[in-house]
Amino acid sequence: MCINYIPPTKVVLEEYFDVDDPGYDWEEEVWQDYQAPILIQHDGMREVRIASYGLVPKWKIPPGDKHYATMNARAETVGEKPTYRRAWQHGKLCLVPMLGFFEPCYESGKAERWRFSMADGKPFAVAGIWRAWQEEQGYTFSFSLLTINADSHPLLRRMHKPGDEKRSLVIVPSKDYDAWLGCRDPELARTYFVKQVAERLTGMPMPIPRRG
Calculate the average pLDDT of the chain: 91
For residue range 122-131, list pLDDT tens digits in order.
999 999 999 9
| Residue 144: per-residue pLDDT | 98
> Which comes out higher in pLDDT, residue 164 or 97?
97
pLDDT digits (tens, 9 = 90+) for 173-197: 999 999 999 999 998 999 888 766 7
pLDDT surpasses 60 at 211:
no
User: Once rounded to an integer, what is the mean pLDDT over residues 8-25?
Assistant: 94
pLDDT in tens, 138-154: 899 999 999 999 888 88
Sequential DSSP letters for the chain: ----EEPPPHHHHHHHH-----S----SSB-TT-EEEEEEEETTEEEEEEEEESSS-GGGSPTTSPP---SEEETTTTTTSHHHHHHHHTT-EEEEEESEEEEEE-TTSS-EEEEEEETT---EEEEEEEEEEEETTEEEEEEEEEEEE-TT-TTGGGBBSTTSPPEEE-EEPGGGHHHHHH---HHHHGGG---TTGGGEEEEE-PPPP--
- Segment 55-60 mean pLDDT: 92
